A and B are shown apart, each in its own frame.
Chain A
């Protein structure tokens, strides 16, 4: 079974631009979560999607948004990029069944904002 797949692997953007990241969950997984990882702040929760609906949201500004498609694939968008948005963005999927809440992470998209 293929793992969580994120594309692209690396991105370089300039301030003010917008970016879209993609995540394909493990087959059969219905929940997709997004995290921002930086050396100073660790892993910070952005949002979670389930059945095409945002189910939970972290404390990030409205410039960060996402969506989920009917096949559970998810995209994350960041508009008006700032230097501080440079980070590794990780996607994770879960089967989301009672008693089986394990999250499986993708390899991430490394975003650099210049």
Chain B
């Protein structure tokens, strides 16, 4: 089955710097790659997603890149702010059975943005 590795497990940056989180996946059939942000004590919330037919997607300060050949994808946050501090999870799904409900998650990256 699918396996998703996420690095680093913790990341500390200064406010205004960029942050990059990387994930690799094992199943070449995976075609959907979302990123979730989970603040302390709250539910995971989708911040950006990308499908396998797209190499890059950007939404304001957040961007995701996908390299299908190498089977890895990355989250880039520019001009970080203290409110970006949270745990970020990458995930992958192959839409098995016609669904994306069987997301396989990485173990998460705890991002701390220091003012």
Q: Which residues of A contact B (CB under 8 A)?
A: 31-33, 35, 41-45, 48, 50, 55-56, 58-59, 90, 92, 94, 96, 101-108
Contact = CB atoms under 8 A, between A and B. Distances in A.
B99 A96 contact: yes
Interface of B: 1, 32, 34, 36, 42-46, 49, 89, 91, 93, 95-108
Contacts of A103: 34, 46, 100-101, 103
Contacts of B89: 42-43
Given A41-B107, A42-B108, A56-B97, A108 B43 contact: yes
Contacts of B107: 41-42
Please list the 5 inter-chain residue pairs (A to B) with the smallest Cβ-Cβ separation, ordered nearest first. Answer: A101-B100, A48-B101, A56-B102, A33-B101, A42-B107
Nearest to B102: A56
B98 to A, nearest CB: 8
A11 to B, nearest CB: 17
B80 to A, nearest CB: 22
